[in-house]
């Protein structure tokens, strides 16, 4: 057993102030109000959480190295005797008691403070044998470690059910951390939970100016720029679960295995049928182009550019009304599906008919292009609003990123005015295709690693869906890759 010499009266004072310290990641299960325990124990039984904890803290990329787990003395004592020390990891136990001792000779180190533990792990031999460092509890240790500068990631099992706790930790500092990955919710032993990882994106606790109403400019020095490669410190199982990978894998699958098909544009596509992807906060920016050639090809020669006919917005707000051009006043005409959706969510949230449809067969001949994303159903459960959208035709290069961002934003807006929390966006695709002219640009995109998701903030004063303006929305920490040019097929 290795032991640090000397326990300091002030446990947060470094023995060697100039000594390097290891950075670390926190692994914790917590309720919405950051409760982590009751009477010194976990107030839930979640075998999947224990497996997640084991997988995250044990897995290394170098089989010759192992990880370290830092814990307080009470956490150590709460581990059943047959399971301690935690196998396959260096157990670092923090205690200020000079009389505390551990009767084991392997995989255990005793330190007097978090700082001295991080200094010890940064020095030889541990700097060579330890790959990653994880802080796992208990309350006092986590309160010190959670938002500290040395913390570069937080893996949280978010307990969504109401559980009585008497031990709490601080809320995450969202000015310093942004989400990297979040699993779909699961239920185990009547406890609803999900796994979420947050990564540190800035060292300052002062929130920088946010990006609003436009893409990042290289000349804007106030916007944080992310070095994507630095996030490779994450466990591989977490790094590769970034939601953008689902989109990228589908694009790669279509390019590699899609069936060649002719299409209305004459461009030709590689296609797959019956695809499903998920995206909760998947936000990108890109440019569209005029659909005038399409309008002319179907005989809409009397329309001016920009008049696409009774497409999405018209069907959502005036379904069944007679279309008389883009400048006509349609007030009070047709059926307002969007207001109907909001009314049902507020007053009858268990309704299975909370549906928004853009597909109106009688109006298709008046549209420059029939709706591609055509049908959305909303679902309310446990205070969350989720949305599933069906898209008959999906341009994976230009259309799908915008479609995901649009419906994720719509779900957030509707949840906001209904006093609900945004849940999941589920995207179901009929014909998912890559245009031949997009293959090379998309191959370039496949080489770009995902970045942390930005955080969306909506003006809390706005509760009417018709009252929103662009200034009511903020994207914090939005740092896109450089634009990749793709031509829209018309």
Cβ proximity of 159 and 44 under 8 Å:
yes
Domains in the chain: ranges and CATH: 2-207 (3.40.430.10), 244-476 (3.30.572.10)
At 207, is the pLDDT very low, low, confident or very high (cuts 50, 70, 90)? Answer: very low
Helix, coil or strand: residue 48: helix
Whether the predicted model's global pTM rises above the 0.85 cut: no
Decide if pLDDT at 211 tops 60. Answer: no
The Cα 262–Cα 270 span in angstroms is 9
Q: What is the pLDDT of residues 400-418, one digit of tens each?
A: 999 999 999 999 999 999 9
Beta bridge partners of 373: 391
Quick check: is 165 catalytic? no
CA proximity to 283, closest of 418, 425, 184, 105: 425
Q: What is the pLDDT of residues 351-383, one digit of tens each?
A: 999 999 999 999 999 998 899 999 999 999 989
Q: Which class for 352: exposed (0-12), middle (13-18), buried (19 or more C-beta within 10 A)?
A: exposed
Pairing verdict, β 269-278 and 421-435: antiparallel
State the average pLDDT for the chain.
Answer: 85
Cβ-Cβ contacts under 8 Å for 44 (sequence gap 6 or more): 29, 159, 163, 189, 191
Q: What is the pLDDT of residues 119-156, one digit of tens each?
A: 999 999 999 999 999 999 999 999 999 999 999 999 99
**Mean pLDDT on 331-337:** 96
The Cα 455–Cα 364 span in angstroms is 37
Q: What is the pLDDT of residues 431-467, one digit of tens each?
A: 999 999 999 999 999 998 888 988 899 999 999 999 9
Q: Which of 111, 372, 412, 418 is catalytic?
A: 372
* pLDDT computed for residue 347 by the predictor: 97
Torsion angle of C-alpha atoms 344, 349, 352, 356, degrees rounded to 10? 40
């Amino acid at each position: 057993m290795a032991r640090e010499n000397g326990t300091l009266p002030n446990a947060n004072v470094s023995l060697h102030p100039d000594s390097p310290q290891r950075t670390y990641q926190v692994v914790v299960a917590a309720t919405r109000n950051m409760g982590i325990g009751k009477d010194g124990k976990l107030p839930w039984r979640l075998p999947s959480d224990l497996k997640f904890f084991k997988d995250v803290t044990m897995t290394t990329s170098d089989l010759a190295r192992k990880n370290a787990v830092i814990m307080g003395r009470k956490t150590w004592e709460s581990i059943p005797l047959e399971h301690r020390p935690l196998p396959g990891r260096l157990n670092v136990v923090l205690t200020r008691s000079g009389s505390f001792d551990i009767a084991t000779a392997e995989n255990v180190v005793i330190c007097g403070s978090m700082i001295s533990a991080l200094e010890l792990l940064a020095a030889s031999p541990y700097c060579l044998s330890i790959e990653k460092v994880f802080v796992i509890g208990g309350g006092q240790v986590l309160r010190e470690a959670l938002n500290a500068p040395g913390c570069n990631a937080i893996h949280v099992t978010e307990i969504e059910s109401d559980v009585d706790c008497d031990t709490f930790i601080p809320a995450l500092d969202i000015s310093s951390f942004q989400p990297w990955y979040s699993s779909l919710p699961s239920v185990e032993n009547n406890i609803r939970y999900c796994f979420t990882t947050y990564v540190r994106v800035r060292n300052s606790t002062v929130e920088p100016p946010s990006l609003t109403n436009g893409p990042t400019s290289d000349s804007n020095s106030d916007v944080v720029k992310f070095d994507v490669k630095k996030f490779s410190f994450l466990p591989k199982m977490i790094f590769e679960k970034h939601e953008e990978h689902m989109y990228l894998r589908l694009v790669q699958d279509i390019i590699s295995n899609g069936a060649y098909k002719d299409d209305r544009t004459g461009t030709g596509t590689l296609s797959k049928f019956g695809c499903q992807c998920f995206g909760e906060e998947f936000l990108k920016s890109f440019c569209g182009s005029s659909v005038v050639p399409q309008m002319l090809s179907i005989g809409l020669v009397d329309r001016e550019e920009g008049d696409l006919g009774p497409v999405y917005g018209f069907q959502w707000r005036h379904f069944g009304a007679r279309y008389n051009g883009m400048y006509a006043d349609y007030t009070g005409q047709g059926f307002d599906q969007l207001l109907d959706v909001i009314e049902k969510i507020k007053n009858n949230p268990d309704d299975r008919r909370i549906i928004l449809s853009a597909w109106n067969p009688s109006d298709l001949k008046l549209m420059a292009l029939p709706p591609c994303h055509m049908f959305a159903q909303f679902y309310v459960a446990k205070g969350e609003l989720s949305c599933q959208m069906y898209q008959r035709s999906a341009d994976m290069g230009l259309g799908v990123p915008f479609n995901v961002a649009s419906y994720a934003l719509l779900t957030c807006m509707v949840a906001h005015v209904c006093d609900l929390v945004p849940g999941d966006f589920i995207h179901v695709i009929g014909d998912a295709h890559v245009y031949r002219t997009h293959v090379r640009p998309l191959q370039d995109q496949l080489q770009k690693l995902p970045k942390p998701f930005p955080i969306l903030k909506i003006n809390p004063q706005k509760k009417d869906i018709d009252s929103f303006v662009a200034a009511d929305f903020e994207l914090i920490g939005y740092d896109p890759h450089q634009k990749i040019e793709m031509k829209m097929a018309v």
